[in-house]
Structure 1
Amino acid sequence: MLIGKVLGSTEIEVDGAVADLGGPLPRRLVTALLAAEGRPVAEPTLAEAIWGDEAPANPTSSLQAYVSRLRRTLGRPALARAGEGYRLAVDDTDAARFAADVRRGRELLAGERPGEALRLFDTALARWRGDAYADLPHTYARPALEELRAVAEEERLAARLAAGDAPGVTGDLEAAVAAEPYRERRWELLILALYRGGRQADSLAALRRVRKRLADDLGIDPGPALQELEGRLLAQDPGLLLPSRPVPAVRPLSHFFGRTAELSALTALLGSARLVTLVGPGGAGKTRLAIEYAAVLDPWFVRLADVTEPALVPAAVAAAVGVRGATTDAIATALGDRPGLLLLDNCEHVVAAVAELALEVLARCPHLRVLATSREPLAVDGERLLPVAPLPAADAIALLTDRITGVRPGWRPGPEESATLAGLAAALDGIPLALELAAARARVLGLAELLEMLRDRFPALGPVPRGALAPHETLEAAVAWSVDLLGAHDRAMLLRLWPFEGGFPLSAVDDDLDALSALVTRSVVVADTTVTPARYRLLEIVRAYCRQHDPDPTGSRERHAAWVRRLVEQHAPLLRGDRSARSIRVLNRELPNLRAGIRHDLDRRPVAALRTAGLLEWFWFRGGLVAEGLPLLRAALAAAPDAPPTDRARAHLSLSLLRYMAGDLGATTDMYAGLDLLRDRPDHEGEILAAQGAYYESLYWSFRGQFDRAVEPARRSMRTATRIGEEWILPASTMSLGAALAGSGELEEGRRELARAGAEADARSQSWTAAMCGLLLARALLIEPVRPAEALTAVRRALDLFAEEDDIGNVLASLHTGAYAMALTGRTERAARLLVAARRAAGRRGIDLDVADPIRTAGLSAVIPAPVLAAAAGIGDDESALPELLEPKNGNN
């Protein structure tokens, strides 16, 4: 996307980045083309704009050279030849956006929405960075733009005045009339501000000043607007004062979905408490919920979104209640003992003032109740909070369907569109405002197109329809309202959290609990305190806003990737110790972040990506994450050929494990590639990896049924571990030796070694190794002479330990082995169901259990007849119920 900027020194943004235009002369060329607003500009006109009276001998040649360089930056289609000149096509300009903001701001002001108008005028004027078309001679300046800028400044002051800020705006209006004393609109606003501020004499004096200035300097009388204002002032027309805003008399016209639990809770809370605040993120439907609750109660409704200053809160409440005095004391005196409900809507930007008013009126008006809506609590004594969360999926889809039907008469979603609706509801986090706006866009976009649009940028979903309760015109304005209320430090933290996928823990913000608490309190970050440690996430619309407005997106991605690297370095060494289950759970929760961090590093830091993906070898293996880990490891090895040998070796060994689990018999390629890299023992970390790689090799050959080839690597692993002083490796080495011996004919010795390895692993709190010893012992007990009952006992213990360790792959392997053991005890049909269900669950993870858990000895593959397996295949099994199929039945083993 190309955005032209001419309200100051000329710039072109290409997909959000400022392009290098190559110096002042090419910039003049671009400016002249932008000034033409897409129309062709002849070469002589361009030459005059660039060089004036000092054109070179051959301006055409120089001009073509500039065009050629600019095309490389902006793209050939954007800067095209047109007749005898050139034209520049951009997607938008800051001048066009400025004009649109001013136009819409004036519409809002005319529609008595001064708060929103003020924010739009602020946005419009902030687009100016200097003079319009500053890079061209003065003759190219656009008087219309400068005039519109002056109008915007005046209308901004008018919006402040309409919002009730008469005392505050008076000084700025005095400065404005001094700067341009012949602009009568400024005098009109100044006179009105003085009058509304209770300064009637000063108001009349200002009127006499402008009348004298115009007569003395220009010899003219004031225009019709000032003359009319003069007459109304002298008549003390009450219409000159701000009108009170009435309570909404009816409910909104659209259907209300869900919120049954919230309405019940609100009824209960206001039955026992006198101050209840609905809190939640922008667009979650707090105002609509409050209106639905209060519709039959005839409340005093105070719309605070348009109140720009805390000092104006009492005036807004007084106007809604119908009290003349704009003070809290006057409001409390007028209400007295009257029962009623005061509904204070959108309090977040004036929280302190609202809290102060609420405390006083509740203390003095014993029968009054207050219902507030805010993105943060009022934090006063006695306040009860009711969180308004996004809609659940079913209600969100129902709302979407209802609103789309409104713009597509007769439409009914088919199966494919129903799935897309669910995707839309999820992408918009069930935020009612976002769903409403998305449904409106469905009039001109297909649902799939709309969903695709939401994936890569902040949703441009258009304006809120007339009559809606939302205080903000667009979804972006709703999010911006929340973000702009944050302090600088908290805002900076929020804007750089968008790279986190699927949430984040406290450590992701460097344990800055105060700032994170502020973000949660203000409803821009959602906290899940039902898990330990607590987890936090951004709603997707907030995340999209942060991604778009982050001043340093590259830095934010790098910080996220660095956090992933630190997390893996911290937890990878723990995956074999007594804290391995906790580390597995931590890494499982962070899987989306791991994926995103590694993919970032693949492009920017491939050596780091290789190390991170390799360190996760046991996470991939124990989690059964074959389909996840394989492509990342392969990509990292390809991207980092010059990485340290130990890191490359680890990645190769990890890849060999996953390839084996996937049933790829070429896994030895990576296994021996890793072992070869470790032959020179590059460092102590490499020596540890060599000891581990040796028992991997042993287990590989045992699993392939080539037990004679498995004995030597197991003994090599034991020797290496002892030599380098890393005895913690010995239980796994001994385990691999036991499996090799049992399979190679030394059955009793192999079983003893497996039992010894399991006991040693237990003593070292190596639960995973103890579990694997149990699984391998169960397999050894299924070799002739078979002892299936003992094998089942060993499998069940292994299954419990693997489940505690969150090792999904080996849970499935244990169930696979257990199915054959169960068949040998005579329960063939139950064993068949277990075998089929385990294979299905493994297949969904890219695991081939017949390879990863080979049961080939003693003809076990024939113990479950094919017809029984076929019958079991027709029975659906819930994956979560798989372990129950292995449990004893009727007391039998």
Structure 2
Amino acid sequence: MRFGILGETRAWRDDGAEVPLGGPSRRALLALLLLRPGEAVPADRLANELGPHGAPSAHALQSQVSRLRAALGPAAVIERTGTGYRIVVADDDVDACRFERLAAEGRAALGEGDARRAVTLLRAALRLWRGPALAELPESETARAAAVRLEELRLAAQEDRIEAELRLGEHHATVPEPALEPHEPAPELPEPHESVPEPRELVPELRELVGRHPLRERPAALLMRALAACGEQAEALVVFEETRRRLAEELGADPSAELAGLHRELLSAGPSPSPAAPPAQLTSFVGRGAELAEVGELLRTARLVTLTGPGGVGKTRLSVEAAAAETGEVCFAELAALRDGAGLAQVLLGALGLRQNGLQLAGGPRTPVERLVTALSDRALLLVLDNCEHLVEEVAALVARLLAACPRLRVLATSREPLGIGGEHVRQVRPLDGEAAVRLFTDRARAARRGFAAGPELVRRICAALDDLPLAIELAAARLRTLDVDDLAGRLDDLLAVTARGNRTPDRRHRTLRSVVDWSWALLSESEQRAARRFTVFAGGATTRAALRVCDTDEDTLESLVDKSLLESVGGGRLRMLETVRAYGAERLAAAGERADARRAHARYFLDLALTADPRLRRAEQLAWLPVLVAEHDNVLAALRRSVEAREVDTALRLVAAASAYLWIRGVAASAAPQAIALLDAVGDAPPRGLGEEYATCVLVAASTAAGRPAWQRHRAAAGKALAAAWPGTLAGRYPAALLLWMMRNASEAESHGAYELVRAQRDSPEPWARAAALYVSGFGELGTGDTAAAERAFDRAADGFRALGDRWGAALTLDVLAGLASGRGDRARAVELTDRALALTDELGALDDCADLLVNRGDQLAACDPEAARADYARAAGLARRAGSPAGLAAALRGLGDLALLGDDLAEAERLYTDALERIDPHWVKSVGNRVRTLAGLGRVAEARGDHATARARYRQSAASASAIGSSVPDALRMLGLPEPVVKAVSAR
């Protein structure tokens, strides 16, 4: 038997005959049971939902159930279970459940790049609708919520179907409909085949959607894309302008970052500067025109393309050229230096120009994958993942998740094997054909030797001996600086005699390439070989200065390695080594017994660099030094990992402490957390003598992720004692940033381990940054006693201290708190001025998530007097938080929009926004406490406005419990957060 609740409640037997169900009460009863087939529904809920006054008695309800059983017959079983009833039918026999399954499968197919299958599934899903969902249920909260959810899924499925059709439309494809089961109702049977409409044919439907949902941005974006696809660029721009105007007039909001990005694409603006661009190429691109065109064509219709082939065949170069041909936004991520999959998401965040968490610690211990999904959820971007073969399982899992969650994302990967996930289009990159190989060798030979000339037969013989592999050809051509072409050909014949005969398998090609690298290596002097093999310890390249020291060599030797193509100069004074050469050199380094010594030299260099940078990151030089450490991020992490693996505890502790200020300011502490956790396991329960402060800093870094919480609980007490010993009284320790982080990490704990007193004692410290931080912390202490005047004086002095040092990080923290105090006493103009100044500082640091947090704060300051300006700030903050991949920043923006919806008496929208915000807030993270308090209070106000006093009391109690963690009395904490006085009284009374 089949059931329908997507419209009038109906039932059909297997032969398609409709079952007479009886009156409205019986139909409503069946609909309520079918909302969750197989799940028990309490009898009292059924009674309350059956009509405006409920069923008159349990006996009356039982009577209705008996009549419904009789109408349905034995094909559908209605069971009494405990205190309720349930209907025992398969999910797929209910049209709503079947719709949800088909819609989810359609969206998944769209996410995997299989637009044809997506269209088939989504059309089948949407054809199940016969009218409004749950049309015969009486008006009730349950019915309203269920109907709203189903209608929202219907709209999303319609949007997904249109997007899939847009991808296929230009090919005029025919999409077969899936066969229906025999007992599906005849009126729902589709046509046997339907063609995919052209983009122009979708325009009327999209205009109607935009008309019905004028403030929903996805239909507007789809309409813009459809118009652009059929050549009506000007019309597409008009749609954007109309949408922008409606958002401004009705919400006071700007278009989202995603819609604005589509607008920029239509205006042919360049890609965003924040993602990492493909590496600039210093040589011409030879012999891959057809492959490049094929890859470009694939990327126009497929969402995942993988280039496979042996090492040295040219996969990376082809991907770079394909990315360069893209007109939209591109991000290039090089994975060769990544040791394992644990840091994969971190690398992609870095390539996208995003930080792990905010300057103000607003992100909490959220995972990098969550941040990636948030950042890419509706962003039109081509992500190029180069050298995936050593992480193929981890890359496949992450790519599958990103493509499913981010419908406008495309991925181009290079690997020696496919990723093996749905929707993947694999293209094997083969060696150059004979003519192209000759052209490549000739081009590179002329660059290496002026006046190069050789017969094409000789060049062809050289290239054939090299299996026409581009990397092998380039390495061989570079030898012409010291050899003539005849000598080169003779040596190649001797070296490659075995592999030059007959057909070669890919493995043989790879061995040929290795032979060429081996031969190139043999031509190096001993000093060049030593420098080259030691260079392999760098991750992601190195500056010339770093290479000179770690490789223990001179500039002439490095220049010679560049001339011989063993190293590449990539600009900015940096050198890098091709991955194939690096892997070979690493083997030579191990064979020479020099690996441990080279790694120690590498760790010492980057420890010295971090120690040099650390004090400068708390002063005006921070803008100059942050990029230095950003460029060396992979090297710092590699040095830390190797030191931990070698159990060189002293070096590892000093390195994590010296780099900690950079990690916190840039928001990437989580990238070092796995090594910090492993290091603490090696250290044990007590810090090494003389390294207590480094040990405490390591504990803080470990605690920056959820995985580090056990380590934090185990080591917190010992770390607190070690930090107190390092900063006794007014004496200064080595890492003052750790003091501030220690207090903030302990602020919400029942026992703070003396964190507040420890930091506050540094108000007279000889270290100026520590003094400013101590004054900042002291201000919170004064707030805890209710002395806001004293608190403001402390914060003012802290701000002066940070400004005198030129530290934008500390100054932004302090200005934000001062703005909150000004807002709390009603001085909105002062609050906005201070927030604007903090925003200017975070802009200099390039902190998107911190800017989002400050925009929310400014929105809070403006909400009472200028709600439209507040709405614009919340909307901008939401867009920035999505770009930054910050769940906490997005939660704060949604909470602000919820406040405005409540102010406008839109209870349903307010509840939706508050609920969405609450799901994104980490309740244990100190910087999220304020937003949690306000969100819970908002949900309490919504419940109270609906007359649901029990729920209101429960929400107010939760809000008060969270407010108590701020440190002052609950009423004072609520006032400091800017909550209206009636809300303060309501929450405090619970």
Higher relative contact order (CA 8 A, sep 6+): 2
> Could you state the TM-score of these two structures normalised by the residue count of structure 2?
0.39
> Could you state the TM-score of these two structures normalised by the residue count of structure 1?
0.42
